[in-house]
């Protein structure tokens, strides 16, 4: 997740990464800390973080050796999206309270938010080894192992989270993510539905469930989840893309293109949206526009025959013969039965090898 996730939270559009941050200190204190309010419960401190930050600043001025205060301030700064400052406080908390695994957990969360999962994972594991028991920690570990595509470990930590908190919607959500990533569609749908049942305002499982159903062309069942997710996050790029797919299925091509455009405006890395936009523009005869979007979709679609055929044709139509030839050659290497591509290869080779005649303009 990008850092922007955390800023979107402040506008009321919760994402899975920050949901994880929110749930952490509601139940994260170890038994010996529970009576000392070592950490800030961000579910409670949600209306006035500036006041909380001011109070913590004053407290730290009076007691600069209290590591728990730095840990609490790190979480408030994390919520505000001030990640560098949050990391500095987390480092100070760990330095001052080396025996407190809660501070390791704080630092792991900050590093996770900073897109540094490879640094977050060992800290989270160290917190676990130091007897820090929390469903929030286990959910974080599950998510980090999911990023590594270590599904076995990810499942194990979801199991631990659900043992401690059987109604944890976040554990169900990541259980669904793991199942979807490993190809278990039935389990993914079941887990997402459990997450929604326990937290009706939790947007992400609705969005992910819609994605699973759309992938299986179950458009009728996907529609209510797309609509419900969009009500919670109207500017989410993935949801806008899903709306575009549904519009395209309903043969509303102009509306679909508009929705895909909105999706990539929010997140330019949505390759599915770029791919569909490229196909629509190609169909409209806008070959340069088609190339622009198809190139951005290459990571996910470059080995798809239709992608290669459309991109090759668009290159050919815009006079980019070498680029067209490359795509046609890739296409026949993948699908030797694609006879039209052989015809275009022969023509393009002839055109490229044909001697160029230079008109003599010398005047006598």
Same domain, 65 and 7: yes
Residue 270: left if φ>0, alpha if ψ -120 to 50, beta else—which one? beta
Which tokens hold the place of 312?
A: 């090759």
Does any domain span residue 177?
A: yes
Number of neighbouring beta carbons within 10 Å of residue 2: 14
Same domain, 5 and 121: yes
Same domain, 12 and 93: yes
Does any domain span residue 359?
A: no
Longest CA span, the chain = 103
Domain boundary among 80, 114, 130: 130
Does any domain span residue 347?
A: no
Which tokens hold the place of 29?
A: 């204190």
* C-alpha–C-alpha distance, residues 193 and 196, integer Å: 5
Q: What is the domain extent for residue 225?
A: 200-249
Same domain, 5 and 105: yes
SS3 321: helix
Q: CA separation (Å) from 342 to 47, 121, 224, 322, 348?
A: 65, 51, 45, 15, 10
Q: Is the Cβ–Cβ distance between 246 and 230 less than 8 Å?
A: no
Tell me, what CATH number does 61's domain have? 1.25.40.10
Same domain, 191 and 209: no
59-96: b (≥16 Cβ within 10 Å) or e: ebeeeeebbbbbbbbbbbbbbbbbbebbbbbbbbbbeb
Same domain, 179 and 88: no
* C-alpha–C-alpha distance, residues 191 and 267, integer Å: 27
Residues 6 or more apart whose CB falls under 8 angstroms from that of 247 comprise 253, 255, 256, 259
Same domain, 57 and 175: no
Does any domain span residue 230?
A: yes
Same domain, 150 and 107: no
Same domain, 170 and 204: no
Domain boundary among 185, 215, 249: 249
Helix boundaries (H) for 114-251: 117-129, 135-147, 151-164, 169-181, 185-198, 203-215, 219-232, 237-249
* C-alpha–C-alpha distance, residues 135 and 354, integer Å: 70
Q: Which of 135, 142, 156, 162 is nearest to 23 (CA)?
A: 135
Does any domain span residue 116?
A: yes
Q: For residue 6, which phi and psi values (nearest 5 degrees)?
A: -75, -30
Q: One digit per residue, pLDDT tens: the chain, 364 residues?
A: 444 433 333 333 333 433 344 333 333 333 333 333 333 344 444 557 888 899 999 999 999 899 999 999 999 999 999 999 999 999 999 999 887 999 999 999 999 999 999 999 999 999 999 999 999 999 999 999 999 999 999 999 999 999 999 999 999 999 999 999 999 999 999 999 999 999 999 999 999 999 999 999 999 999 999 999 999 999 999 999 999 999 999 999 999 999 999 999 999 999 999 999 999 999 999 999 999 999 999 999 999 999 999 999 999 999 999 999 999 999 999 999 999 999 999 999 999 987 655 565 555 3
Does any domain span residue 157?
A: yes
Same domain, 52 and 105: yes
Q: Is the Cβ–Cβ distance between 209 and 241 less than 8 Å?
A: no
Does any domain span residue 140?
A: yes
Does any domain span residue 26?
A: yes
Same domain, 149 and 243: no
Quick: pLDDT tens for 83-139: 999 999 999 999 998 879 999 999 999 999 999 999 999 999 999 999 999 999 999
Nearest 5 degrees, angle CA 38-CA 136-CA 204? 130
Same domain, 68 and 108: yes
State the pTM of this model.
Answer: 0.80
* C-alpha–C-alpha distance, residues 323 and 284, integer Å: 21
| Number of domains present in the structure of the chain | 3
């Amino acid at each position: 997740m990008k850092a922007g996730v955390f800023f979107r939270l402040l506008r009321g559009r919760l994402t899975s990464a920050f949901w994880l941050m929110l749930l952490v200190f509601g139940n994260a204190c170890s038994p010996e800390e529970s009576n000392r309010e070592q950490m800030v419960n961000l579910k409670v401190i949600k209306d006035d973080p500036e006041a909380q930050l001011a109070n913590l600043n004053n407290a730290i001025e009076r007691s600069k050796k209290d590591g728990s205060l730095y840990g609490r301030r790190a979480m408030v700064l994390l919520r505000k999206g001030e990640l560098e400052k949050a990391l500095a406080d987390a480092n100070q908390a760990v330095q001052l309270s080396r025996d407190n695994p809660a501070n390791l957990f704080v630092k792991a969360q900050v590093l996770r938010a900073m897109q540094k999962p490879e640094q977050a994972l060992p800290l989270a594991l160290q917190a676990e080894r130091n007897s820090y028991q929390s469903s929030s920690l286990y959910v974080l570990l599950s998510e980090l192992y999911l990023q590594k595509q270590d599904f076995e470990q990810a499942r194990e930590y979801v199991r631990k989270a659900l043992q401690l908190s059987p109604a944890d919607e976040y554990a169900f959500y990541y259980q669904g993510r793991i199942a979807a990533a490993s190809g278990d569609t039935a389990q993914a749908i079941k887990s997402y539905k459990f997450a929604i049942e326990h937290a009706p305002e939790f947007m992400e499982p609705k969005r992910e469930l819609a994605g699973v159903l759309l992938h299986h062309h179950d458009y009728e069942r996907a529609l209510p989840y797309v609509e419900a997710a969009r009500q919670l996050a109207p500017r989410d790029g993935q949801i806008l893309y899903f709306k575009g797919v549904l519009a395209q299925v309903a043969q509303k091509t102009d509306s679909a293109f508009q929705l895909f455009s909105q999706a990539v405006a929010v997140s330019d890395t949505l390759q599915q949206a770029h791919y569909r936009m490229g196909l629509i523009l190609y169909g409209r005869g806008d070959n340069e526009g088609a190339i622009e979007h198809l190139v951005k979709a290459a990571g996910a679609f470059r080995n798809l025959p239709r992608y290669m055929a459309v991109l090759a044709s668009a290159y050919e139509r815009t006079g980019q013969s070498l680029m067209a030839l490359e795509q046609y050659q890739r296409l026949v290497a993948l699908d030797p039965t694609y006879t039209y591509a052989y015809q275009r290869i022969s023509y393009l080779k002839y055109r490229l090898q044909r001697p160029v005649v230079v008109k003599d303009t010398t005047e006598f």
